[in-house]
Structure 1
Amino acid sequence: MTWDILNIIGTMAFAISGAIVALEEEFDLFGVYLLGFVTAFGGGIIRNVLLGLPISDIWNQDVLFTVAFITMTLLFFIPFHWVLGFKKLWGVFFDAIGLASFAVQGALFAVMAGYPMSAVIVAGVLTGTGGGVIRDMLADRKPLVLHQEIYAIWAVLGAMAVGFGLATTMWQFILLIVAIVILRMFSVVYQWSLPSRFDWLRQLKKFKRQGE
Structure 2
Amino acid sequence: MTSPRVVKGGLVEVDVTTGRALRTIALQYNPDALTRTVAVQAAGADAGQALRLKGVAVETLRLEAEIDATDRLEFPAENPATVEFGIHPQLAALELLLNPRATTLVDNDALAARGMLEVLPMETPLTLFVWSRQRVLPVRVTELSIAEEAFDTSLNPIRAKVTLAMRVLSVDDLGFAHRGGALFMGHLRNKEALAARAGSAALSALGLEVI
TM-score, with length taken from structure 2? 0.26
* Richer in strand (by share): 2
Of the two structures, which has the highest relative contact order with CA contacts closer than 8 Å and spacing of 6 or more?
1
What TM-score, normalized to structure 1? Answer: 0.25
- Structure having the larger proportion of residues in helix: 1
